[in-house]
Structure formats: C-alpha cells, structure tokens
Amino acid sequence: MIALMAKAEGIIIRTTDYGENNKIVTLYTETFGKIGLMARGAKKPKNPLSAVCQVLFYGLCLFQKGRGLGTLYQAESLNPFKRIRTDVEKAGYASLVAELTDRLTEERQSSPGLYRSLCRTLILMEKGTDAAVLASIYAVKMMRAAGIDPELDRCISCGRSSRSYLFSFSGGGFLCPSCAARDPYALPLSAAATQLLPLFKRVPMDRIGRISLKSETIKEIETIIRTYYEQNAGLKLRSQRFIDQLSRFRKD
C-alpha cells in the first residue's frame, strides 16, 4: 500500500479525544478543504503533537491522507495567536468562527476563498481588530455556504430599495416598511444595522481596518445572525452561549 503523504497549511477547527492517548483533529486546509486526522499520542503531555492539537492551531502540517481518517505526523506553527488565546473575549469569538467553519463545510471540498477568509479573520483578531465585529462579518459571509444567503439590498417582497428596513427571518432578508405586514415577526432594524449588514456581506476581509461599533449595534447584529442561523439552518452553536454570557458584561 502506498502511503500518500501531504504537506499543507491549515487551521485546526475541532479536536476530539480518542481513547486514552489520541486525538482526532479536524483540519481546515486551503488545498484539501476539511479533513479528519488521527493524532497518535497527542493526549500525552510530552508528545510533540500535544501542543499542536488544539483548536485554532495554525501552521504547516505533514500528514498521510487516508480514504477515511488520515494521520497527522508533524506540524509547525505559523502564528501562535497569543493575543487571542490570552483574551477571553477574543478566544470566545475565535472559537465561534472555528465552529461555524466546521459546522457549515463538507469534508474534502476545498474552498480557497473560505480558507483565506478564515485565516484573515483570525490574523486580524490577533492584530487587535474588534473580535465581535470580525466574527459577525465572518458569520454573515458564511450564510452563503450555509445555503441561506440573505437579501440585503432590496425588499424581499416588492423588490424596491428603501431607506429603512425590517429583517424577515422566515423571508430571508430585508423587508421594506410598506411590506411589513407580510411578516409579523420581522424585526425593525436600526439605521446602523441597515447599513452594516450589506457591508459585512460585501466587504473583502482584506479591506477591514479598524472598525469600532457601539455595543448596542453589535448586539443587534449578533441577535439577527444568531436567530437567522437557528431558524433557517437549524444551527445552534456551542460557542454562542459563551458569547452571550460575555455580552452581558460588555460596557456601553
């Protein structure tokens, strides 16, 4: 049998304990998409893989690609994300980004655009761009991958553009005030959220500089994102609960 060795840059988006000594890691790579790898001995503290096999590890990985689960042999870090790991809020949002990627992608389907977006989000978070804003932008962009790309440019009912909108979760996007009766559960949007949601969808990750938003605006956007994912993709994120707890302490 020929063992196919591969080397690829990737980010670990999930880890699972396997037996007494091993871990299974889910690695998101530019070349191969999402792959599952067995990391033998990774639970032993002295094993070199133990430092590697953590969510948000970002580096060059040497592994054997199997038909099912592959095997991870070595990995070399490209960025330890020290600031993310030592800041509870940043770490929470980075976990949310990793979990979203894991939940919304299929194994072995490469998407270089998505990979770059994931990398860029984490690198910007590490450099100090607001983690809550970055996670929201990433979540809005991932709606397309989830098959629930919302309409954020015009009314979903009449197709006209308006100065203000409501957000219709069941309709999938903006609803103008004249059509508001079509969805009694639609949520009226603030002027800030009306401007930011389409911007989050369109703006390339590379163009994001220093963005700072009022905490009420980010809370409003997070509520829309969370509800939309829950209702339209049946997605409840583990890391979301943690973010909710954090946001209660956020200063206004």
155 or 225: CB nearest Zn ion: 155
Nearer to Zn ion, 89 or 151 (CB): 151
Q: Locate tokens 């002295």: which residue? A: 46
Minimum CB distance to Zn ion, residue 158 (Å):
3
- Which residue's structure tokens are 């989830």? 146
**Measured from the CB atom, is 164 or 215 closer to Zn ion?**
164
Distance separating alpha carbons of residues 108 and 235, to the nearest angstrom: 21
Asked if residue 242 lies in contact with residue 92, where contact means CB atoms within 8 angstroms, the answer is: yes
Burial pattern 96-115, b for ≥16 Cβ within 10 A else e, equals bbbbbbbbbbeeeebbeebb
- Helices then strands, counting H and E runs in the chain, come out as 8, 8
| Binders in 132-161 for Zn ion, by CB under 5 A | 155, 157-158
Other beta carbons within 10 angstroms of residue 135's beta carbon come to 25
Q: Select the residue interacting with Zn ion from 53, 98, 114, 176 (CB under 5 A).
A: 176
Which of 93/165 has CB closer to Zn ion? 165
Least distance to Zn ion, CB of residue 174, Å: 8
Please state the closest distance from residue 182 (CB atom) to Zn ion, in A: 8
Q: In the numeric block, which tokens belong to residue 140?
A: 């809005």
Please, which residue, 102 or 183, has the CB nearer to Zn ion? Answer: 183
The answer to whether residue 166 forms part of the interface with Zn ion (CB under 5 A) is no
CA distance linking residue 33 with residue 205, whole number of Å = 19
In a 3-state reduction of DSSP, which class is residue 22?
strand
Segment 30 to 49, residues that bind Zn ion, using CB under 5 A: none
Smallest gap from residue 178 Cβ to Zn ion (A): 5
From 20-28, 57-65, 99-107, 173-181, span contacting Zn ion (CB under 5 A):
173-181
Pick the closer one to Zn ion by CB: 25 or 179.
179
Can you say how many angstroms the Cα of residue 158 is from the centroid of all Cα atoms in its chain? 32
Contact status, residue 138 vs residue 100, Cβ threshold 8 Å? yes
How near is the Cβ of 176 to Zn ion at its closest, in Å?
3
Question: Least Å distance between CB 166 and Zn ion?
Answer: 10
Q: Which residue ranges make up the site for Zn ion (CB under 5 A)?
A: 155, 157-158, 176, 179
